Every structure is written in structure tokens, then in C-alpha cells.
Amino acid sequence: MKMKSVKRLIAATLATVMTVGLAGCGGDNAASNDASTSGAADANTGDAAQESTPTEEVSPYPVLKDADGNVYDLGGMEIIIRDWFAVEKEPETAYEQAQKDYRDWIQETYNFTIKEQAISGWGDVPADFINYASTGGEENYVFTLRPDPSMVEAMGQGLMKDLSKLDCLDFSEDKWSNGVHEFYAVGDSIYAMRGIDAEPRDGVYFNKRLLTEAGINPDDIYKWVQDGTWTWDKFEECCKTVHRDTDADGVIDVAGLATMTSYFYAHAIYSNGSDYITKKDGKFVNVVESEASMEALNWAVDMVNNYLGVYPEGSNWDYFYTAFINGEAAFLDDQAYLAGDKLKDMVDDFGFAPLPKGPKATDYTCVVSDNMYAIPGCYDDQKAWNIAFAYNLYTEPIPGYEDFAAWKNDYYQKFRDLESVDISLVEMVDNARVTYHSLVPGIDVNSDFVWGINAEKTPAQKAEEIRDTWQALIDEANK
């Protein structure tokens, strides 16, 4: 039986009652419900009752029990969430301490240990997983995997456990709304998951000084985002305003746009509610020739032709970063992590907005390419259930912090203003979705398609050229 999300009122102190929540998994929770309710009632009975009745220690979290009323016991399993980036550190904030306290409690209560550990390297992960799942092992791993076409083959070969058959996972819960489990689904089967927030990716940086000098109030961009008017038309209007020859020498001194064209073409497609390849009824489908995709690509080509900066002869391929940092371009289309990376020492102040909406889009979008978590298919059903049970608990919202967006903390340190995080990144996380071209073996959207768009070949002509090749690869992936 699946456990449902529950909320309890418990006695935090004699004078304070706090609400805690836990979405669990497994069997009947009636016994723990009675204990929690009883504890809350005892804490509110009055001084006389508390003086005459011994106070029974009450758990701050509901205890999950099986159908026979027994607390789940994982038998001392040591579970490792295996990745390539984990670093152990002591709690530095109240949230991190509460998270540690909660995770210590679940391990003690259900008799297991769990930790994140860097084992593979980024480049080795797909092969390491396939080798391990093919040969087996005594460990209790949850593998952290990156999107890679080999994962399609792994699913088809039974190397990933079908998570839909583990009744301790309820994918209707909010924490799974990042869409990763849908990304790795075939029919009713689910082969990977992600119990944490999506990572905000692509958006538009803007140089506040250059916008101000051109007569645009940078703060208006955040207002447009909030009222839904941050559109292609508004973005193009801004680019046109800032793209100018400031010293009348016939040379553009401030470009409207800095970007890598392959990024910009993809982002145009996504921001118009479309894709290169999507999934319908569990099958990959080529939609690059759809009306929405073609409209996006034609618009993107015009924007590049009209507002992309002209870079110095002999400059590196990534000069567009330098152009934005040096104040040679007002907008940079790129990823959110740059705020704390390439842009961290930029002299001019900058802000960040989601990709502007195209006419076919109903909202802003953020296409994510998040890591996913899989259980090797070589594990037997009970072992896989236990691991999934532990991972589900490990990734639960921390009681008392259910509405706390912990992911924001790192970004507050990287961006120059609160609006970039509280408005733009929130929109992006809330509207995160996936796209599927990276899962089709043999397809590379850049070398196959994007890099072939030029003055001699339109997007439509290039799409027609690669149509049959892509369809053959898609048909093979759909088998």
C-alpha cells in the first residue's frame, strides 16, 4: 500500500506547535498517526495535567510501519548515492542542520545508512553504470547518471530497475515535478527519477548600464516577466534600441545580442513551446519541421543577422562572452551558472531574465538537462524496494522547511540582484521541462542541423535535408 503525504501537529515545546510533513512510502501508517496525535494533545492539556502525567517523548516525524504494524527495518543496509561530485561538509545554516537532523533520524529509525559519494568521473558514468548493471555487485547503489543516448539502450536491455513497480514511490508528489521520471519512461515503466528540484538553465543576461544609457529601465524587464509581457517582440524592441553606433563613426559600438548561434536557435525553439524532437505516446517524434519550430528558427536567424555583434578578426569562438563582459553587447543568451563563473568579476552590473516567450508559447520555459538517479536492474525486487524507500525518504522536503527553496541559496551568492533569483529563476524552475533529442542515439542537432543553417540554406531546407536520416534513427530508437 502506498503511503500518502501526511501532516502532523506535534509539540515542539510546551508553548509552540509546529507543522511537519513527510511524504513516505510503504504500508499502513495508522499506528504512527495515533502516536503523533496523542503527543500533540498531551502538549496542549494544561499545567496541572502536565505536572501529574509523565511526558512521553514524541518523535518529531511520523514513523512509517508496514501492514503488520512493524516499523520498516532495512537491516543495516549501507546505501550509496553514487556520483562524481559529492563533497562532505558540515552544516553551515539552520536549514542544513535541520536537514542533517532529519536524515540522521531516518537512518536510525529504519536501520540503514545513506550517503552521497563521488566514485565515477563525469565522462565515465554511462559506461560504469552499464558495466555494473550487467555484471552485478554486492553494493547498494543509487547511480547518479547524466543524459546520454546509451541510457536508452540501458533501459531497453533491462539494466535499469522499473521504478513504477516499487510501491514506495509515488510520482504524483510535488518533488517529482521536474519531469525526469517522465523523460526516462517507456509506456507505463519508469527507469530513472530525480527527487530534488530542477536546475535552472538557459536565460538572458542584460547589462544594466548599457540599457540605462539607451533609455531602458533595467528593472522594467522584471516587471515584464511578472506581467507576462516579456516576449520576443519586447526582446527585439530592446535589442533594436541598444544596438547602435554611439560615436557616429559608422561602426556599431554596442550590439544588441551576444550568443553562440547554436544556443540561440535551440532557445528560440524552446521558448516557442516546441522542440527538435519530442515524445508522444512513449515514442520519439521529429518536430523540427513543425510550424512552431520553423517560426522560431526563422525569427532566431533574423535576430542573429540584425543584432549579433561583429567580433574582431581572429577572435576565439567564445568571444561573445568577452563582448558581454566588456560592455560590447547588451544581452547575453546563456546559462544561469555563468553568474558565478565567467561573469563573477564583470565590472558592469547585470541582471537575468527567462527566455522571452514566443507567440506559440503559453508561459516562460526552461529546458533542463538534469542528472537522474537509477537503481541497477541486476538488484532483486526487495533490495531495489529498500533502496528506493531510503532514497525517497532522503529526498523528502525537510520538516519545518517544506516551502523553503533551498536551491536559491547558492544563486543568491552568484547574482547581483535578488530579482534574478526570486523572479527569473523561480519562473524557470516552476516551468522546467525536458526535451528528448539527447536520448536518440546517432542524432547530434548541432552537426546534423544547426551548423548547416547559413545564408545559402534556410532552416526549412536544412530540415528537409536531414529528415530521412533522423527518421531512421528515431525509428531505431523507438523499437
Q: What is the pLDDT of residues 416-426, one digit of tens each?
A: 999 999 999 99
CA separation for the pair 402, 143 (Å, rounded):
26
pLDDT above 60: residue 30: no
Query: Closest by alpha carbon to 293, among 321, 266, 256, 333?
Result: 266
**Cβ pair 191, 171 in contact under 8 A:** no
**Cβ pair 45, 29 in contact under 8 A:** no
19: enclosing H helix or E strand? strand 17-23
CATH number among 3.50.50.60, 2.40.30.130, 3.40.190.10, 3.40.50.300, domain 202-366+413-477: 3.40.190.10
CATH number among 3.20.20.80, 3.40.190.10, 3.40.120.10, 3.40.640.10, domain 77-199+369-404: 3.40.190.10
| In 259-316, beta strands by DSSP E | 277-280, 283-286
Q: What is the pTM of this model?
A: 0.79
**Count of alpha carbons within 13 Å of 374, Cβ hemisphere only?**
33
Q: Where in the chain is the domain with CATH 3.40.190.10?
A: 77-199+369-404, 202-366+413-477
pLDDT above 90 as % of the chain:
71
Q: What is the pLDDT of residues 287-336, one digit of tens each?
A: 999 999 999 999 999 999 999 998 899 999 999 999 999 999 999 999 99
Residues facing residue 79 across a β-bridge: 114, 140
Q: What's the burial of 256, exposed, middle or buried (CB within 10 Å: 0-12/13-18/19+)?
A: buried
Cell numbers found for residue 243: 544596438
CA separation for the pair 445, 63 (Å, rounded):
49
Q: What is the pLDDT of residues 48-57, one digit of tens each?
A: 334 444 445 5
| 3-state secondary structure at position 366 | strand
Pairing of strands 112-118, 77-83: parallel
Confidence of residue 246 (pLDDT cuts 50, 70, 90): confident
